[in-house]
Structure formats: C-alpha cells, structure tokens
Amino acid sequence: MGDVLIPTLMTGDCMDRICVRASRFWEFYDLNEETKLLHADIVLIDEEVQPIFISVYFHNLSNSCKKYIP
C-alpha cells in the first residue's frame, strides 16, 4: 500500500501510511514541574502542502508507545 494524502485520511482507519514533514513543533510542560512534558503540538504537511494539526498527550500513551518518544 502506498502513501496517501492528508485529506484522504479517515477516522479509525489505522492501515493508511502518510509521508509528511513537520512544519512546526511545540512542547508544553507542567508549570509546577518543568521536567514533566504534558503534550506536544505538531503541524504536519504532505507533498501537496496540505497541513494537519495534531496534539500528542503523553499521559494517555501506553507504555509500549512511550518507548518511541525520546
């Protein structure tokens, strides 16, 4: 299966693969505990310069996913 463009993505379809680059990246830390990363926001852009905004909340990730995040 080849890469698909951002507008063709469907909710719940986990088998698609996209090829994107990160245009913007922000990290949000707890104000009381500066080393605790709460979430990261990312703007991704595909080959036709179509953007999508995503937020990754780290407290919701399972332990198996956390090993991929530095």
pLDDT along the chain (70 residues), means of 10: 76 77 88 85 88 77 51
Residue 39 confidence (pLDDT): 84
| pLDDT attached to residue 62 | 52
CA-closest candidate to residue 70, choices 24, 21, 25: 25
Query: How far from 37 is each of 21, 55, 58, CA to CA, in Å?
Result: 22, 12, 7
At 68 the pLDDT is 47
| Amino acid code (one letter) for 49 | V
| pLDDT score, position 63 | 52
Q: Would you say the C-alpha torsion 70, 7, 53, 21 has a positive or negative sign? A: positive
**Number of structural domains the chain divides into:** 1
Residue-range definition of the domain harbouring residue 31: 3-66
